[in-house]
Structure formats: structure tokens, C-alpha cells
Structure 1
Amino acid sequence: MMLKRQGCIVADVDVVIPLYNCAEFIEQAIRSVQEQTAPVKSIIIVNDGSTDAGPQKVAAMAAKDKRILLLNGPNQGASAARNRGILAASSPLVAFLDADDFWEPDKIARQLAVMEQGGFSFSHTLAEAVDEQGHPVNVPLHTGNEDVPPTFDNIRLGLYPVVGSASAVLTRRDLLLRAGLFAEREKFGEDWDMWARLAQYGPVARVDSPLTRIRIRLNSVQHSISAEARALSRLHSRILVARHWEDDPDFLRAHERAARPDLWAVMRWRLSSPASMRELYRQLHGHRHAAGRVLARNPWDFFRVLLWGCGITLRTILTSPSELLRLWGRLRAERAR
């Protein structure tokens, strides 16, 4: 996985960076790749129809670094941009980096040391959230529970959440092609969907250091939508992942149990609106995927999740009265949106 080129050792890794209107951050992202202690083979920036000065900044950097390849195209979304980058890559290993994120200098080297042990489908680092100026912020990121191993079953069931950004992942190009690339039509959950499909081909390695910096932007989609919409996107993401294995009865039962908290997370915002609750049931009951229908096979199954969620919330409030104030405050904040 290491090549010798013009007297220096180069990691046999291509980096794919989808770019859409990130002119203020793209240079830092690219520099963090250029400054890796294990220099990468190529840096593929896929311009996804940017309307700002980002592509021009990349072109200026490419004039000084022959490893940088700029691919221009129409706006089709991050997944389509990543897929274009994967297809343009030639190295056996591919790392992803979002245009507003950046890496610590030894990120690739640390992951290569793990991947060279052989057999891993992909590796990911831990991550730290930063603000728009690059300063650390206290925002929790899903970086995996140390008590839950990153197995195929745990990943596809969402029991082990791979860090919430593709920027932390290094994987094998042949497996990306074998898995069928990123799901371009999906708005949420396409990363989780890809990691689950990759994990079926081999174990997953976690580098227990926050070597990836994920930028939290106030104008991002996840910060502009309501808590109910975020919960609904999580539920849809789970169904998206589970659809690949819904012909397995044992997995489908495990999926049904694992989805219960996500379904309740949507239900609780609709308690005061019976009509919207009925609409949720109708959508799931008639879902195009069995992984969705199994969550609302009949009104009683759907109602049992509602009772379960209310019971959990009531017990939490009785054991911790301050939780009631927190929930009330969150409800008022959401209504004020």
C-alpha cells in the first residue's frame, strides 16, 4: 500500500472530495491532505455544480500540485460526486473528505497501519466537531461505542454508529465497486447504507483517536430542520439500510426491535396530532420496503410502540424530575421554530 515515486514514499491512496459551494473551507481541506505524513497518490476534487469561487481556488492549488485532479459537473448531490471520484480513482484504497472538514497530519498513516494488517473492509477514525473557524465545539458525534464491537450486524442494525461523516473513512476501491457505490437518490442515510454494505465483506477497524475534524455549520441541512424531521430522516435511514437484507426473517425481527426507539422519536412529536400519527402509520403500513412495513403491520403493533415509548418517558421523568423541564424546554424551542 506504499509506493516509491520520485525518491519519496507515497501511500497508494486516492482522496475523494465532493465540492459544492465551500470556497471558504476547501483550501484548508486540501492542505490537510497535502500535509499528511503518509503522502497520498492523488487528490480528486469533484465540483458538484458550485456557484462560488471554490473551483477556482482548487484550480490554483492544482497548478502547484500535480496530484490534484479537478472534475467539473452539474449539481447532483454528494453521493453522486463521491461516486464520480471513486470511478476516477486508480489506487486500491480510497479515503473520503468533505470539503468543509479537515484531517490531522497522521490520519492516513494511522489508518494505513491498521489496513495493512489485512482483511478489513474499511477503517474509520474518531472525530471532533469544530465551528466555522475550526475551533473545537461541544457537539457530540456518533463515533462508536467502545462496548459495542463494529461488526456487520451491529453496523447494519445501527447499534454501532460509524462516525457521522465519510471524512473519517478509508476503504478499498474494489469493495466500493462490489457494494454498488453510494445510493445517489437518497437524501439521508446514504453513508450508513454504504458502511453497512461494506461491512458485509470483512471486519471494520476503528482508530481510537480524533484524527478527523468535522465542521458544524449553522446553515447545514441538519441544523435547519426540526427535531421531528431529523427523527424521521433517521427512521427512513434505518429502513434504507435494512432493505438490503429484508428477505432474512431473523434480521427483519432484529431490525424491528432496533427501530423501536427511532419510531418513538418520531411519534413523540405527533402526540398532539392524531391525524399526523395516522399518516405515519399509513406511510409505514404501505411502505414499498418490507423493512418499513414490518414497523406497522397492523394498528396494534404500531400502538404497542406508542405505549412502550410513553412508558419509557414516564419512568424517566419519575426518576429524574429535571427531565420534565428539559423535555418541556425542547418542546417550546421546536414550536418556536
Structure 2
Amino acid sequence: MTESVSPVFSIIVAVYNAQRYLEETLRALSAQTFSAFEVVMVNDGSTDQSAELAQKFCDQDPRFRLFHTPNQGISPTRNLAVQHATAPWIAVCDADDTWTPDKLELQHRFIQQWAATQAEPMLALGTSGDLINGKGEQIRMVNTQERPWPTVLHDEATLHELHMINSSVVFQREVFLRLGGYRAEYTPTEDTDLWVRFSEHGAVINMPDHLTHYRMHSSNISESHYPVMILNLYRIQANTERRRQQLPEWSAEQFTARMRQNRPQYVRTMKNLQHMKYYNRAKNRWGNGHYLGVVAPLVQACLVSPSRTVKLFLRSEVYRTSRLHWRRHPG
């Protein structure tokens, strides 16, 4: 891309102590076959070598730009990156995730085809992808449904599942700014809150193509803040309905107070969330090959709810794979 070509996509990368994976991420962006993009990186007060790594890419490629801010968290950092962006479409990529080389090219083609054939405006477009561990090895495939929002909000059983891969999504900058951007009060589900609000004004779509690699490791916010994440999903669910009724949204404090009005149900909910925090931590450790690290969180999960832990384990991929191995190699 020459400097005279205006970017179609501004790729925003929020950077905080990401040196372990950042170079791999930025190389994946550099390798995109669709070249009409810029990369807007915001260093959120990192204390490692992340800023120096990011600056190397700026020195090598004028499409890369780096800004700095004192540590303020993921939502304000992404919002700042969008403020510095110049393209009509924003592409999100977390500093530990990667893309296939044709990701932006295929998304750009999909957007053009949609605009030519559909009356409804497309506001956000994600992709399917792969869940990978810290070494970049595939844990499992993530097959996202075409239109998850707002329909998923009505399905309590699957509400907590990964319905849009944040690092896969491109969205219209103008609409993002009009809706107020990411809302820090919903962290670590600020992305889900945004996609749901987008879906109230136009199409929020997932492509079936596996174009995004979403990394799971011990530093993921979703692992350490699982109860808060799920409670935020419930609040998103409630506030979507309140917006539909033209009622003011509940704050986190108001929503929690309302949940506590039914004390037995609230206690059960918090117990289940605490259990899932430990169980998911064990799953994450296993997926990253930290087999000894599985023991402590699995024991904690059993202490909270032994029957639920057993049920989840019997439905797990680890158990199914082990049974298949035992059947093929008895003894």
C-alpha cells in the first residue's frame, strides 16, 4: 500500500504487558493480503518490553502507529485507539491473538457483497476461528452462528458461550462513536455489550470462515474474573430489555441489589459461578499443557460442587478422548 491510499480498516491493538505474544500478533497483521489498512496501537502503561516491540513495527512500516497512555484498562484504551483511527471500519485484534493472512480480504469482500444485496446495514462482522493455547496449538474450533445477537440473550443455557470472537470483529467507526464505544463498567464483557447494542441498529453477522486464532492462557481476564463476566452477561440481558421498554439501564450495583432480593436463588447462582471459575481454570491449564496445575483448581471445583464437577467432566472432550483411547488400546 502506498501512502496515498486511504485505509479501509483501522486495526486497533490495545497493548498491556503483551511482549510474550505481541510480535506474533503484529506479524500476522503485517501479512494481510488486503493491504489498505493501518494499525493503531495504544500502549496502556506497560512495564515490560511491549512498547519497544511495537515501535519496531512502526519503524519498519508507516501503516503502524503507536500511542501511549498511563494504565487505564482495556475499554478506555480501545476507545482511545478508535479516536486516533482514520478508516471507516475498525478491526479489533487483541495483543495475544492472530489472524489468517486472508482475514481482512475475505471480510472486505463479504461487506461489499452484503452492501450490494441487502437493504439492512451491516454494522459489525465477525468470523469463526480456533481456540489456541499459549504455544499456538489448537485447543478446539469455534464455530460461531451467523446472527448471535440479540437472539442468544433469550437462551439462558448458551448465554455464557463464545458467540463472537472479539479479535475477529470489524465494525463501523461512525456507529461505534455514536453509541458511545466500549463501556468500561461491563469489563470483561465490554465487547458483548457493544455487539448487542450494535444489533439494535443494524446487522451483526459472523462469517463461517475460520480466520481468527483466539488465545487462551493464564493471563486471560475471563479466567480470573469469570463470576463478574457472567453477572455482566445477565445484566446485559436485563438492560437490553429495559432499553426496549425505554427504561433506564441498571448499574452493576442496582442489578446486584435486585438479584439479592431473592436470597436463595442469588446464593445458588454465586455458588455455580464460583464453581465454574475453578473448573474453567482447570480446563485452561489442561489445554495449555500445565497438567500439574490442573489439580488445585479441580479440587477447588469439587469442594464447591462435586456432582456438578463430575457431570461436566463426563461431558468433556478430555473424557471422550480418553475413553476412545482406552477402547482402542485396552490395558
TM-score with structure 2 setting the length? 0.70
2:84 matched residue in structure 1: 88
Q: Residue 10 and residue 171 in structure 1: after superposition, are their counterparts in 2 closer, same or farther (change >3 A)?
A: same
**1:124, 1:163 within 8 Å by CA — same for their partners in 2?**
no
Q: Residue 247 and residue 14 in structure 1: after superposition, are their counterparts in 2 closer, same or farther (change >3 A)?
A: closer
The structure 2 residue matched to 1:134, chosen from 136, 153, 162, is: 136
Cα distance in structure 2, aligned partners of 1:114 and 1:295: 42
2:326 matched residue in structure 1: none
1:121 matched residue in structure 2: 123
**1:192, 1:241 within 8 Å by CA — same for their partners in 2?**
no
Which blocks of at least 5 consecutive residues in structure 1 are unaligned? Answer: 253-283, 310-328
Cα distance in structure 2, aligned partners of 1:239 and 1:36: 37
- The Cα of 1:248 is off from its aligned counterpart by 4.0
Q: Residue 211 and residue 200 in structure 1: after superposition, are their counterparts in 2 closer, same or farther (change >3 A)?
A: same
Cα distance in structure 1, aligned partners of 2:300 and 2:52: 41
1:199-218 maps to which residues of 2 (within 5 A)? 199-218=199-218
- The Cα of 1:165 is off from its aligned counterpart by 3.7
1:230 aligns with 2:230: no
- The Cα of 1:204 is off from its aligned counterpart by 1.9
Q: Residue 162 and residue 298 in structure 1: after superposition, are their counterparts in 2 closer, same or farther (change >3 A)?
A: closer
RMSD: 3.6
Equivalent residue letter for 1:181:
G
**1:17, 1:97 within 8 Å by CA — same for their partners in 2?**
yes
1:258 matched residue in structure 2: none
Q: Residue 50 and residue 156 in structure 1: after superposition, are their counterparts in 2 closer, same or farther (change >3 A)?
A: farther
Cα distance in structure 1, aligned partners of 2:20 and 2:252: 41
Q: Residue 241 and residue 299 in structure 1: after superposition, are their counterparts in 2 closer, same or farther (change >3 A)?
A: closer
- Aligned positions, number: 270
**2:75, 2:187 within 8 Å by CA — same for their partners in 1?**
no
- The Cα of 1:127 is off from its aligned counterpart by 1.7
TM-score with structure 1 setting the length? 0.69
1:232-258 per-position Cα deviation (integer Å, ceiling 9, x unaligned): 530233204532541545999xxxxxx
The structure 2 residue matched to 1:150, chosen from 148, 151, 163, is: 148
1:279 matched residue in structure 2: none
**2:149, 2:195 within 8 Å by CA — same for their partners in 1?**
no
Equivalent residue letter for 2:135:
Q
Q: Residue 217 and residue 152 in structure 1: after superposition, are their counterparts in 2 closer, same or farther (change >3 A)?
A: same
Equivalent residue letter for 1:204:
V
Equivalent residue letter for 1:187:
T
Which blocks of at least 5 consecutive residues in structure 2 are unaligned? Answer: 116-120, 273-295, 305-331
Cα distance in structure 2, aligned partners of 1:77 and 1:335: 33
1:180 aligns with 2:160: no
Q: Residue 221 and residue 248 in structure 1: after superposition, are their counterparts in 2 closer, same or farther (change >3 A)?
A: closer
- 2:60 match: secondary structure: coil
Cα distance in structure 1, aligned partners of 2:252 and 2:58: 47
1:48 aligns with 2:44: yes
1:70 matched residue in structure 2: 66
Cα distance in structure 1, aligned partners of 2:184 and 2:252: 20
Cα distance in structure 2, aligned partners of 1:129 and 1:86: 26
Q: Percent identity?
A: 22
